[in-house]
Amino acid sequence: MIPNDRKYTNNDEWLLEENGQIKIGITDYAQHELGDIVFVDLPGIGDSFNAGDDFAVVESVKAAAEIYTQVTGKVVAVNEALNDQPDLLNQDAFNNYLAIFEGTIDGEVMDADAYAAKIAK
């Protein structure tokens, strides 16, 4: 089930607009592809990024995956729980954001139906 309340990217991130801020996370498909997630490298609060920049790294046993933002703006919060429990992303990817941004979605995003079609291929 791909939640309708958010946007998606080609790199399997989701963006959820809430209270004027944008939460970014990885999709359930992404966590499944990665396998057991063992480490998350989160950005610093206050760090600025342009749409298309990588802002975090999610590492599984076998691989390290760069995570990209499609927001031009700055990080106002990060999900600290992921430091000690990176496997939360495996358990519930849609309800565990990586970081919260303030800014504008400048980059390429798609809606839930388009994303569902992409991962079905």
Partner 1 sequence: MDDLKKTPLFQTHLDLGGKMVDFGGWALPVQYSSIIEEHKAVRERCGLFDVSHMGELDVRGKDAFAYLQKLCTNDLTTMTPGRCRYSMLCNERGGVVDDVLVYKHNDEHYLVVVNAGNADKDYAWFKEHLFGDVRLENQSPQWAQLALQGPLFMQVLEAAGFEGEIPAKNYTFTPSMKVAGIECLVSRTGYTGEDGVELYCAAADAPALHKALMAAGTPLGMLPCALGARDSLRFEASMPLYGHEMTDEITPMETNIGFAVKMQKEDFIGKAALEAPAKRRRIGLKLVDRGIVREHYDVYCNGKLVGFTTSGVPVPTLEGSHAMALVDVACAEAQDFEIEVRGKKLKAIQVPLPFYKRA
57 binds partner 1 (CB under 8 A): yes
The binder of partner 1 chosen from 50, 51, 53, 59 (CB under 8 A): 59
Q: How many residues bind partner 1 (CB under 8 A)?
A: 10
Q: Point out which span in 21-29, 45-53, 58-66, 94-102 binds partner 1 (CB under 8 A).
A: 58-66
Whose CA is closest to 31, among 88, 109, 100?
88
Residue 113: both structure tokens together? 């139906």
Q: What is the number of other CB atoms lying within 10 angstroms of the CB of residue 106?
A: 14
Closer to partner 1 at the Cβ: 40 or 109? Answer: 40
- Kind plus residue range of the DSSP H or E element containing 54: strand 54-60
Binder among 10, 17, 18, 35 for partner 1 (CB under 8 A): 35
Residue nearer to partner 1 on the CB measure, 64 or 114: 64
User: What are the distances in angstroms from CA 47 to CA 18, 26, 55, 74?
Assistant: 20, 19, 9, 5
Q: From the centroid of its chain, how far is CA 63?
A: 17
Query: What is the binding site for partner 1 (CB under 8 A)?
Result: 35-36, 38-39, 41, 57, 59, 61-62, 64
